[in-house]
Structure 1
C-alpha cells in the first residue's frame, strides 16, 4: 500500500486546509472544508481530484465549503452522527468506535466532545496519522463551546492512548499563542521552553507549526499534563484530581 500524500495550506484567517491523497487510486480527501478557493487551488496545484470530505464538526469555519465542493467534484461527505443535521451535504454518518476505509487505508473514528457536542477525530492507525481538528492543537486544546471541562479531558485521554509516534494534524494555526500561554503554567519544563522558542522562530519565518506528534504533545502540552507535579505546584493544586487541574488550565487559557 502506497504512503498517503498530504498537502497543508491556510484557509480563511488561520484554519489549516489539509488534503490527503492516495497515489495508487487517486482518491483525495479534504479534512473539513473551511473555504473553497484555497482547497480548489491546492487540488489544481497537485493535480488531484477531490473524492471525499471528512468532516470533524459543524462549525461554519469547518463546513462552509461542503456544498460547493460536493457540487463541483461529487465528493462523499463523511461526518459525525451526533451533528449530522448540522453538516451540509452529509452522506455518511459515523460515531465513536466507527471504522471505514479510505482507499484501502483504515480509518478509526473517535468521538471527542468538548469543543462541540459531537466532534469527531479521524485516526489512520496503519499510517500513524491523526486529524484532531479543534479537539487537540499543538500546545493547546479547543475552547469549550458545547461541552464541559470533564468532557474535553475525557476526549483528550482517548487521543493520548494512541501511539506516541502518531503524526497529528490540527485545525488552526494557534500555536504561537498556545506556546506563550503554556510556559506560564509549566515554567520549569525545559523541553517546552525550547519548543516555544522554536515556534517563535518558525512563525517569524512564516513556517507552519503543523504537524506535531502525540509524543511531543504529551511532553510539552499542558492540557495533556494535569498530572505533572510542576504544573500542579504552579497552580497551587498539588492534591486536586486531574480533571480539576485540567479545568483550571482551560479557564486560564480562556482569560490569557
Structure 2
C-alpha cells in the first residue's frame, strides 16, 4: 500500500503484514499494528504531529506504545502531542537514552556544530527546514520508561527485540522484528539524508554523531550479526538487502 504524500500525509507503505513504513522528506517513522493496538516507532518533528496522528487513524487501533530509537527532536518531536490524545500509551527507550528523551541532558547537533558546514547549500537548506519543523523546540517527554535491550518483547502482535547501538547517541536503539527480517534502524543506519549525496546503508556525517567511531562500529556489528532482509531507516528510503 502506498499513499500519496501531501501537506498532512506522507508516503505510507506496508512492508509486511502489520508493518507500516512512513517516509517524509525530513524524517521517517514506523507503525506496527495488530491485536487491535498500535505501536509507534519514533514520532517525527513537532510539526509532524498532525501527520503522525492521521497515519495512526488510517491504520486503525489504539496507540498503546511508543518505542524511541533516540532522543533527537526529529524522532520524539510529536510524542507529547500524541500523549495528549493517548495518555495511557507507554513511551519506551534504552536506559542510557532516557536523559536525552526527557531533556535532562541534550545529545543533539546544534547550530555551533553546523557552523563549519553551513557554507554548503544542502546543509544550509536542511538547517532552515529543521528549525522550521521545530528542531529547536522543547520536546522533552515526561516519564519515559526503560526497555531492556536484547530481550524479546511483543508489541501489537509482533515479536520485537531492541538492539543497543550506541554512537549516534549514547543509548541509541534499533528494533529487530525477526519474524519478518525487518530492522527499524533509526539513525544508526540510514539510506539517505538531505545534507548528503550518499545512498545505501551508511552512518550519518560525523557532525550528527555523539561518538562517530562507535556509530560505525555499531552499524558494522548489526549488519554482520543479524540476518537483515529489510532496512527501515530514520532517513532515506526503505531498502531490501540482498
TM, length-normalised to structure 1: 0.61
Is 1:116 matched up with 2:180? no
Question: In 2, distance between residues paired with 1:29 and 1:90?
Answer: 17
**Unaligned residue ranges in structure 2 (runs of 5+):** 1-15, 102-140, 192-199
**Unaligned residue ranges in structure 1 (runs of 5+):** 174-208, 217-256
Structure 2 counterpart of 1:46: 59
> Residues 1-256 of structure 1 correspond to what in structure 2 (within 5 A)?
4-11=17-24, 13-22=25-34, 25-34=35-44, 35-73=48-86, 74-87=88-101, 88-138=141-191, 139=200, 140-144=202-206, 145-160=208-223, 161-164=225-228, 166-173=229-236, 209-210=237-238, 212-213=239-240, 215-216=241-242
Structure number with the bigger relative contact order (C-alpha 8 A, sep ≥ 6) is 2
3-state SS of paired residue (1:114): coil
- After superposition, give the CA deviation of every residue in 1:152-190 in whole Å (9 maximum; x if it has no partner): 2220123111114x21111113xxxxxxxxxxxxxxxxx
How far apart are 1:126 and its partner, in Å? 1.9
Q: 1:65 to 1:55 in 2, by over 3 A?
A: same
Q: Is the helix fraction higher in 1 or 2?
A: 1
Pick the structure with greater CA Rg.
Answer: 1
Say whether the 8 Å CA contact 1:18–1:31 is kept in structure 2. yes
Cα root mean square deviation, aligned: 2.1
Structure 2 counterpart of 1:187: none
Query: How many residues matched?
Result: 173
TM, length-normalised to structure 2: 0.64
Say whether the 8 Å CA contact 2:49–2:78 is kept in structure 1. yes
